[in-house]
Amino acid sequence: MADTFDLTVIGSGPGGYVAAIRAAQLGMKVAVVEKWATHGGTCLNIGCIPSKALLHASELFEEAGHQFKNFGIDIPAPKLNLQQMMAHKDDTVTANVSGVDFLFKKNKITPFRGTGSIQAAGKVLVTSSTGTTTTLESKNIIIATGSVSANLPGIEVDEERVVTSTGAIKLKEVPKRLLVIGAGIIGLELGSVWARLGAKVTVVEFLDRIVPGLDSEAARQLQRMLQKQGLEFKLGTKVAGIDKNADSITARLEPAAGGDVELAEFDVALVAVGRKPFTEGLGLEAAGVALDERGRVRTDGHYATNVPGIYAIGDVIVGPMLAHKAEDEGIAVAEIIAGQAGHVNYGTIPSVLYTSPEVAWVGKSEDELKAEGIEYKIGKFPFTANGRAKAMLATQGFVKILADVKTDRVLGGVIISKGAGEMIHEITVLMEFSGAAEDLARTTHAHPTLSEAVREAALMCGDGAIHI
Ligand SMILES: Cc1cc2nc3c(=O)[nH]c(=O)nc-3n(C[C@H](O)[C@H](O)[C@H](O)COP(=O)(O)OP(=O)(O)OC[C@H]3O[C@@H](n4cnc5c(N)ncnc54)[C@H](O)[C@@H]3O)c2cc1C
C-alpha cells in the first residue's frame, strides 16, 4: 500500500519547506521528499546562511585589523583562525537545518529521504541512496527542486582549485590570488570574504558594469568602494578558459568585444556566473510537465503547471533566484491549494548584497524608470550627513528614493550603507501599501539612527531634507 498525502513537496529548500509548513498549518497531510542528508536546500546548507556567517566573521576580522584603532581600541594585529571561522559557519548551518527538522515534527510533516520523481499526477516515487523505493500517492505535488551553479564552456570545476560557491565557502586556506568570474551578488560577496582574509581578488565580468539589475549609480559607487578594499575589476572581459598547472591556474582573459588574449595566474578561481534551474531526475518529460525555453518549470499565475495537481515554486520557476521569493511562493501556493487567495507582490521583493557596506534595493531602479518612460523625482541623502553614521564611522553611501512625479507614490529605492539590508524594509512596507514619499517623510524616526537617512531621502522628494 502506498502512503497517501494531500500534498507532497519535492525539495526542502526555502520554497519547499515553507510550502510544507503552511500547508500543514492549513490542515493538509504533508510529505516532503529531500535527496540531501539535511533539510533547508541551497539556502541553508550551501547558500545564504553559510555565506552570511563567513561575511559577518570576515567583516569583524577586517574591522579588528583596520577600524578598532579609530575607536580607541588598541589590539595587536588579529590572527586568522580559518578553521574556527569555518566551524562557526558549519555550526550556523547545523543550527538552521535542525530548526527545519523541528518545524517538520511540530507540524506533523512526514519527511522522506531520497530522490523524488513524478510518475504521473498524484504519484511520486522516492528512491533512497541505497536504491530502495517508496511510492507516495498525493492529491497535489509541488516541485521545489531549486537551482544549481551555472558554468562556462572550457572551465572544469573541481571544487578545490576551480570552485563554484559551494567550494568557495569551504576553502581550506586563503588563496593568495583569487579569480572571481562574474561580478554578480554571489561573486562580490564571496570575493569580499576572501579579500578581507588576505586574498588578492580579481573580478572578471563580461558586462561593462557590476551587479546587473542594481541601480547603475549605486553600482558605480559600490565598485569604487570595493576597489578601495583591494578588489580589482576587469569589466568587459571574458574568461575564455582555465588551464591547471602544478601549483597554479592560468586563466585566458579576452576582451568581450574581441581582441588579444591575456594570460593571468591565480591560485583559485570562483565561477559565479549565475545559477540554472534544476529538474534532473524528476521525470518531468514522462509526466508531461512543460518547461520553458530556459529549462524552468512553466507555471501560470497560480504556480500550476500544465498538469493538473502539479505545482512549482522557487528557483525552478521564473523570477529572481532569491530565498524570500521562494518562501513567499511557498506560502502562496499552499494557500491556493487550500482554496484561498495566495498571492506574491513581485513589485516589492527586496534584494540585498551583503558586501561592506551593504547594498539593498526594492522596486524600480532609475534605469528602469527611464527605460519605461515613467516621470519620476529623486530624493537622495548621503550618510555623511547622518549623526549616527558619523559616530559609527559608517558614512559611506546614500539613500535614494524614487517617487512618481504626479502622485508622489514611491516606485523604488536603493540604500548603500551599513545595515542597508535591514533598512530597506521600511521602503518595502511603504510600497506594499502604495505609500507616498510624504507618508515616509512625516513618520517620526528615532534619533540617532541610520534610518533617519531614509526619512531625509523621502523629505528630499518634497520640500527638502533638514540636515543637508
Ligand atoms: C552562495 C549563495 C548565496 C546565496 N545568498 C542568498 C541570500 O543572501 N539571499 C537570498 O535571498 N538568496 C540567496 N541565495 C539564493 C537562494 O539560496 C535560493 O534562491 C534559494 O535557496 C531557492 O530556494 P528553493 O527552495 O527554490 O531551492 P533550493 O534551496 O535550491 O532547494 C532545492 C532542494 O531540492 C532538493 N532536490 C532537488 N531535486 C530533488 C529531487 N528530485 N528529489 C528530492 N530532492 C530534490 C535539493 O537537494 C535541495 O535541497 C544564495 C545562493 C547561493 C548559492
CA 325 to ligand 1 centroid distance, Å:
11
In sequence order, what are the beta bridge partners of 113?
A: 34
Q: Is the CB of 409 under 6 A from ligand 1?
A: no
With both helix axes pointing from N to C terminus, report the angle between 82-106 and 14-25 in degrees, rounded to the nearest 10.
30
CA atoms within a 13 Å half-sphere pointing along the CA-CB vector of 292: 14
Q: Is the CB of 162 under 6 A from ligand 1?
A: no
| pTM of the shown model | 0.97
Q: Is the CB of 34 under 6 A from ligand 1?
A: yes
Contact 189, 359 (CB under 8 A): no
Tell me the average confidence (pLDDT) per consecutive run of 10 residues in the chain, 468 residues long: 90 98 98 98 98 98 97 98 98 98 98 97 96 97 98 94 98 98 98 98 98 96 98 97 95 96 98 98 96 98 98 98 98 98 97 98 97 98 98 98 98 98 98 98 98 98 90
Pocket test for ligand 1, best of 9, 34, 42 (most atoms within 8 A of CB): 42
Contact 58, 196 (CB under 8 A): yes
Contact 142, 9 (CB under 8 A): yes
Q: Which residues participate in catalysis according to the annotation?
A: 447
- Nearest atom within ligand 1 for CA of residue 114: 43
Q: Quote the pLDDT of residue 362.
A: 98
How far is Cα 242 from Cα 57, in angstroms, rounded to an integer?
31
Nearest Cα to Cα of residue 354 among 224, 211, 208: 211
195: its cell numbers = 579579500
Kindly report the protein residue whose alpha carbon is nearest to atom 6 of ligand 1. 48
Q: Is the CB of 39 under 6 A from ligand 1?
A: no
- Nearest atom within ligand 1 for CA of residue 282: 41
374: its cell numbers = 515613467
CA 72 to ligand 1 centroid distance, Å:
42
CA 452 to ligand 1 centroid distance, Å:
35
| CB count in 10 Å sphere of residue 18 | 28
CA 148 to ligand 1 centroid distance, Å:
8
Q: Quote the pLDDT of residue 1.
A: 60
**Sheet-wide strand order for 232-234:** 162-163, 268-271, 177-181, 200-204, 232-234
Chain-centre distance for alpha carbon 59: 18
Phi, psi for 30 (deg, rounded to 5):
-120, 135
Q: Which amino acid is at 27?
A: G
Contact 435, 409 (CB under 8 A): yes
Nearest Cα to Cα of residue 250 among 344, 340, 154: 154
Nearest Cα to Cα of residue 223 among 252, 197, 191, 196: 191
- Nearest atom within ligand 1 for CA of residue 39: 49
How far is Cα 333 from Cα 455, in angstroms, rounded to an integer?
35
- Nearest atom within ligand 1 for CA of residue 117: 41
Using omega within 30 degrees of 0 as the cis cutoff, is the peptide bond preceding 76 cis? Answer: no
| CB count in 10 Å sphere of residue 442 | 12
